[in-house]
Amino acid sequence: MYSFEGEFRRLPEQNLAGASKKQEREELLNRAHLERLKREEYRRRQHSTLCIQSYIRSYQTRQKQKTKQRDEFDLLVENLKNNPPDDAMLAVLVQKLLFFYNQNIDTNRVVSIINILMRYLCCTILILLFYLFPGIWLLGRGSNLMHVGFFGNIF
């Protein structure tokens, strides 16, 4: 165990049974080349796996965000049925719609935002008419437009 020659560790024993086998230089180089190719293939597979996983994770995240934005859009549209929209709210609605729009799913949402825009434009036009031509409603033309139902259920 301990040597009295000052060495407190034993030197590792070496098995010389395999040392007598000499490999040819070509065989050694071929084996080293094959090992390098295996390592390179392993790195390539790992990189490909990471790319595929990254793509799938980003797709799932985008789908979750689109679902979340759709829910927020629906809630805002529901709130706008009772209140007139303002410029900022219309901008938010259009931005949300552009973010998540899918032709197969969101046709009703497009129709709802078009209706909101029409109501907003009609309100804006009426306010502009009141401001520019205060006596226009005395002529009776404005009341005809309201009776026809052109402006929807604004009034």
Judge whether 153 lies within some domain: no
Q: In this predicted model, what pLDDT tens digit does every residue of 59-90 receive, in sequence order?
A: 999 999 999 999 999 999 998 887 777 888 88
Q: In this predicted model, what pLDDT tens digit does every residue of 132-153 receive, in sequence order?
A: 766 655 555 444 444 444 444 4
Judge whether 83 lies within some domain: yes
What number of helices (H) and strands (E) belong to the chain? 4, 0
Return the closest-CA partner of residue 109 out of 73, 62, 82, 80: 73
Number of neighbours of residue 40 by Cβ within 10 angstroms: 10
Give the percent of the chain with pLDDT over 90. 42
pTM over 0.75: no
Q: Which residue has the higher pLDDT, 129 or 44?
A: 44
Judge whether 81 lies within some domain: yes
Domain count, the chain: 1
> What range defines the domain where residue 74 resides?
25-148
Return the closest-CA partner of residue 73 out of 110, 36, 122, 26: 110
- The CA distance from 136 to 129, in Å, is 8
Find the DSSP H helices in the chain: 25-80, 87-100, 107-132, 141-148
